[in-house]
Amino acid sequence: MKENDWIKQLEQLHFSAVHVCHYFSNPGAVQRRIWKRFAICRVIAGKGSLSMDNIVHTVSQDEWFLLKPGMHVEFQTDMEAPVRYQIILFSCVTLTRRKNAWHTEAFDLPVTGKLNVPSNTRDIQEMMDTLMSGKHSFTSLEKTRRKHLLHQLLIQLMMHVNEATPPVAGMDLALDYMTHQYMEDIRIDQMARVAGLSVNHFIRTFKRQLNMTPIEYILKLRMAKAKQLLFSSDKIKDIAEQVGYKDEHYFSRVFKKNEGIAPTLYMKNKVNRIATLYYGLDDYVITLGLRPVSALSYGQRVARHVAIPALQAHSHQGLILDSFNQNYDDLRRVQPDLIITSDRLEPNDSLHRIAPTTMLEHTNHFGERLLYMADIMGRTEQAVQWIEQHAELSRVLRGRIQSRWGKQSVMFIRVTSHFYRMYGLNNQTGALLYDDLGFYLPRDFPEQQWAVESKVCDLQLYDADHVFVMVDPTEEARAQLGQLQRSSAWLALKAVQEGHVYNAGDIFFKTLGPTGRMWAMRYVAEQLGVTLR
């Protein structure tokens, strides 16, 4: 961000809350949390280490740190010299005026982490002292004064940081080097040289500040990555090489000594607490006979979520996460062994600091995905059972639908706040309707398109014998549905005229999981009067 840009942002800041605190940490104490507010921290005395979003810094007297909401923070204080620090916690937004109206926007600091503030900046030191010495009970005027002083402190910090960037401390350089090169053949003398210390001094300093030796720190990084890679079809030899071991047998011995089990058995025997962070992934885990410790909430996705008994019995005790609020404090507390997420979600590096995390590529080929996961987790029998049951259900329902209706076309339409979307072959509803149940796409629908966003007037291009309609759970989407249902284009559709329009309910999300997909197969068939009885 250019200097003029961040100065303008700072000028537009509005503070809603400011709190000041003075802390004394216990010797050797370790604190972990996901940060919830902005914070300015000044170290008064002592030593330690501070990890912010997996970037480790040493901590010592007269150093400054700037933290922002969402940061994963781990703080460890020295056994011999526990840290004392001052901290200002605050909440703020940028306030701008456009078209005669005021607008608030989230604020993002141009610099975070350890600040390279020169030690001779008396103005900054005095501002901090004034803020820390204030009263705990404030009049409105005093609160305003404190916010103004904090505003000035932020501006001064940013200006001093921008003016001069002193060299990074030696231990910080060594930590950064180890974090990014742990898979290489790193020697102690290399790390000591990066830190600018003798080997013995480096080892003693490292142990005092991080409560572990440099070798133990590298081992910790390697084992964390290895556990992530074990949720894959990679050979142990390949995994060993990726985390810095040329000999797979030596890697296996090190892994077993560290984790208490051989890497070949780790996923099958030790990974029981699995957190899932996308729709349907909890279903996969349950279908394989395990109970996930977390799943995403459907609350903001569908108007009404219908529970599937086979899934509900296993998942009701797990943690339900809000898909729109990525605060993972609760997830950290349930201590998962493994986190499984999807490439349909934005990558989130903070998850790796909670547990080994694997991202699965989305697929509509459930049998292949289930076998892939089952092979890794030692659950092949459960996967084969689902594949056989799914094939039989598909055979029976396809036959009965064909017998009752003959050759029929179906369209799945989603009504949102802003558009109408019709889904084709290459998505979960396509796999359900056209692969599992044997329906056909409308004749003119482009087969290579996974979906088409359309205007009301274009609906007749994709006229079908049957239409399933999903409506997003918003007032705007319901208004869009009303507009659609009143349109002449809608009323002219064959399915509308013959009464073959059905509520899709929540099958759009249910169909992302194997057990949910079989439930959705029965649901669709029942809407057309076809049952298994």
Mean pLDDT (the chain) is 86
Count CB atoms within 10 A of the CB of residue 97: 9
Buried-exposed string 360-385: b where 16+ CB fall within 10 A, e elsewhere: beeebebbebbbbbbebbebeebbee
Which one-letter DSSP state was computed for residue 323? T
Kindly report, residue by residue over 182-215, the tens digit of the pLDDT. Answer: 999 888 998 888 888 888 888 988 888 788 899 9
Residues 103, 92: Cα–Cα separation, whole Å? 13
Q: Which two tokens stand for residue 20?
A: 């000041």
Residue 280 DSSP SS3: coil
pLDDT of residue 296: 84
Q: Which helix (H) or strand (E) holds 170?
A: helix 170-181
pLDDT of residue 385: 94
Say yes or no: 112 and 210 in one domain. no
- Which region, left, alpha or beta, applies to residue 422 given φ > 0 means left and ψ of -120 to 50 means alpha? beta
Name the pLDDT band for 164 (thresholds 50, 70, 90).
very low
Which residue among 148, 163, 178 closes a domain? 163
Q: Name the nearest CA neighbour of 377 among 369, 385, 386.
A: 369
CATH number at residue 490: 3.40.50.1980
**Residue 383 domain flag:** no
**Residue 387 domain flag:** no
Edge-to-edge strand ranges of the sheet holding 294-296 = 319-321, 294-296, 274-276, 338-342, 357-360
CATH number at residue 108: 2.60.120.280
Say yes or no: 75 and 155 in one domain. yes
Tell me which residue range forms the domain holding 216.
Answer: 170-265
**Residue 456 domain flag:** yes
Say yes or no: 246 and 175 in one domain. yes
Kindly report, residue by residue over 281-295, the tens digit of the pLDDT. Answer: 999 999 999 999 988
Say yes or no: 90 and 48 in one domain. yes
pLDDT at 137 over 60: no
Edge-to-edge strand ranges of the sheet holding 410-415 = 451-454, 420-423, 410-415, 466-471, 501-503
Which residue among 234, 265, 296 closes a domain? 265
Count CB atoms within 10 A of the CB of residue 66: 22
**Residue 102 domain flag:** yes
Say yes or no: 478 and 496 in one domain. yes
Residues 210, 76: Cα–Cα separation, whole Å? 7
Q: Name the nearest CA neighbour of 308 among 126, 97, 519, 492.
A: 519
pLDDT of residue 130: 87
Edge-to-edge strand ranges of the sheet holding 55-59 = 30-34, 72-77, 48-52, 55-59
Say yes or no: 495 and 429 in one domain. yes
Say yes or no: 22 and 90 in one domain. yes
Kindly report, residue by residue over 20-46, the tens digit of the pLDDT. Answer: 888 888 887 888 888 888 999 999 999
Kindly report, residue by residue over 480-507, the tens digit of the pLDDT. Answer: 999 999 999 999 999 999 999 999 999 9
Residue 318 DSSP SS3: coil
Kindly report, residue by residue over 310-322, the tens digit of the pLDDT. Answer: 777 665 567 888 7
Residues 388, 525: Cα–Cα separation, whole Å? 19
Helix 188-195 / helix 214-229 crossing angle, nearest 10 deg: 110
Which residue among 114, 129, 163 closes a domain? 163
pLDDT at 409 over 90: yes
CATH number at residue 260: 1.10.10.60
* Domain count for the chain: 4
Higher pLDDT, 315 or 306: 306
Residues 276, 334: Cα–Cα separation, whole Å? 12
CB 172 within 8 A of CB 58: yes
Residue 136 DSSP SS3: coil
**Residue 488 domain flag:** yes
Say yes or no: 260 and 299 in one domain. no
Kindly report, residue by residue over 414-460, the tens digit of the pLDDT. Answer: 999 888 999 999 999 999 999 999 999 998 888 888 898 888 877 88
Integer-rounded Cα radius of gyration of the chain: 29
Higher pLDDT, 413 or 9: 413
Alpha-carbon distances, residue 394 vs 145, 391, 523 (angstroms): 70, 5, 13
pTM: 0.71
Name the pLDDT band for 272 (thresholds 50, 70, 90).
confident
Using a pLDDT cut of 70, give the percent of the chain over it: 94
Q: Which two tokens stand for residue 485?
A: 């249902």
Alpha-carbon distances, residue 378 vs 269, 272, 285, 381 (angstroms): 8, 12, 12, 8
Average pLDDT over residues 211-228: 91
pLDDT of residue 314: 62
Say yes or no: 17 and 158 in one domain. yes
**Residue 374 domain flag:** no
**Residue 533 domain flag:** no
Name the pLDDT band for 136 (thresholds 50, 70, 90).
low
Name the pLDDT band for 400 (thresholds 50, 70, 90).
very high
Beta strands in 254-337 (DSSP E): 274-276, 294-296, 319-321
Say yes or no: 156 and 38 in one domain. yes
Residues 364, 346: Cα–Cα separation, whole Å? 20
Residues 40, 19: Cα–Cα separation, whole Å? 11
Average pLDDT over residues 229-234: 88
- Sequence-ordered alpha helix ranges (H) in 356-497: 366-377, 380-405, 428-430, 475-486, 488-491, 494-497
Residues 319, 282: Cα–Cα separation, whole Å? 11
Handedness of CA 335, 339, 345, 347 (dihedral sign): positive
**Residue 77 domain flag:** yes
- Sort strands 338-342 and 357-360 into parallel, antiparallel or unpaired: parallel
Average pLDDT over residues 370-398: 94
Torsion of CA 156, 159, 162, 165, to 10 degrees: -40
Say yes or no: 226 and 85 in one domain. no
Say yes or no: 219 and 341 in one domain. no
Q: Which two tokens stand for residue 109?
A: 């600091």
